Chain A
């Protein structure tokens, strides 16, 4: 009878292992429900949306529990605050996930990557979409600009002077300008002029 009572009592006392499991499960779910918030803060900290999205998608595809992803993003956030965001963050995390890194190892790899390639504390990365848009706009502006009437001579980096018009065969050079040139050298674009000296502009 005493034995039976003891067994009954023991069955009502929760095992310490079960209590630990319940606590761990509660902790997991509390971390999981923070995943959207952490992703939002990461975006606000200068990590482009598509990078955050690709990390989350990669973690989901690889069936990483959301509480683990949340912790990785949280540690990423710390690294971003410390060293600034890194370019192609999403691709880097995808590679690490593919290599089998999870949890603390993944967070450590991300931290090391930020320490190595971070663009600087407080700086923000422009999203690829925004970058593409800015480049397209710049290209459009370049196209819309009128072409210069007289481009500088290639390789010389200077404008053609009016007197050089006279260097063309058949044209009359301006004597005033011509006289300022070094004696014995009459060149256009670095080559010796083959025109005969007319001695004061063809008088």
Chain B
């Protein structure tokens, strides 16, 4: 029981010690765009190369046309997501 309590206290101390620098870093760095934005960019690149194979490209990426449409709307409405998408598109 004592060991368990000591472990808990140690974990709490570590958490307290780490929390400040991490929050500072988070405040300084802009939030990274979600990974799905990059995936949508890659899918768009592939579709642009072979538009006739759009359906098979979408299927290979577990995506439907409706899902792609919805994601494109989400990206277009947000400047940060748009920047991440365009960065992937130019690769």
Q: Which residues of A contact B (CB under 8 A)?
A: 22, 25-27, 29-30, 32-33, 35-40, 43, 49, 52-53, 56-57, 59-60, 65-66, 69
Distance, CA A174 to CA B79, complexed state (A): 69
A35-B73, A40-B86, A52-B77 known; 6 other A-B pairs, CB under 8 Å? A26-B54, A30-B48, A33-B89, A49-B79, A60-B77, A69-B73
8 closest residue pairs by CB, A with B: A26-B51, A33-B44, A39-B76, A60-B73, A36-B82, A36-B76, A56-B77, A35-B76
From known contacts A22-B52, A37-B86, infer whether A32 and B75 are also in contact, taking CB-CB under 8 Å: no
Contacts of B86 in A (CB 8 A): 36-37, 40
Interface of A is mostly: helix
Contacts of A29 in B (CB 8 A): 47, 51, 54, 65, 68
Question: Nearest Cβ distance between residue B7 and chain A, in whole angstroms?
Answer: 48
Contacts of A27 in B (CB 8 A): 51
Contacts of B68 in A (CB 8 A): 29, 32
Question: Nearest Cβ distance between residue A69 and chain B, in whole angstroms?
Answer: 8
Distance, CA A103 to CA B10, complexed state (A): 63
Question: Nearest Cβ distance between residue A61 and chain B, in whole angstroms?
Answer: 10
Q: Which residues of B contact A (CB under 8 A)?
A: 44, 47-48, 51-52, 54, 65, 68-70, 72-73, 75-79, 81-83, 85-86, 89
Name the residue in A27, A38, A56 with the highest tally of chain B Cβ atoms < 10 Å from its Cβ.
A56
User: Are B47 and A43 in contact, with the CB atoms below 8 A?
Assistant: no
User: Are A30 and B47 in contact, with the CB atoms below 8 A?
Assistant: yes
Distance, CA A36 to CA B69, complexed state (A): 11
- A66's contact among B52, B69, B81, B85, by CB below 8 Å, is which? B69
- B76's contact among A22, A26, A30, A56, by CB below 8 Å, is which? A56
Name the residue in A25, A29, A59, A66 with the highest tally of chain B Cβ atoms < 10 Å from its Cβ.
A29
Contacts of B72 in A (CB 8 A): 32-33, 35-36, 66
Subset of 17 A-B contacts with CB under 8 Å: A29-B65, A30-B47, A30-B48, A33-B44, A33-B47, A33-B48, A35-B72, A35-B73, A36-B72, A36-B76, A40-B82, A43-B79, A49-B79, A56-B76, A60-B77, A66-B69, A69-B73
Distance, CA A66 to CA B76, complexed state (A): 10
Question: Nearest Cβ distance between residue A25 and chain B, in whole angstroms?
Answer: 7
- B51's contact among A30, A39, A40, by CB below 8 Å, is which? A30
Name the residue in B69, B78, B81, B83 with the highest tally of chain A Cβ atoms < 10 Å from its Cβ.
B69
From known contacts A36-B82, A40-B86, infer whether A56 and B54 are also in contact, taking CB-CB under 8 Å: no
Closest chain A residue to B74, Cβ basis: A60
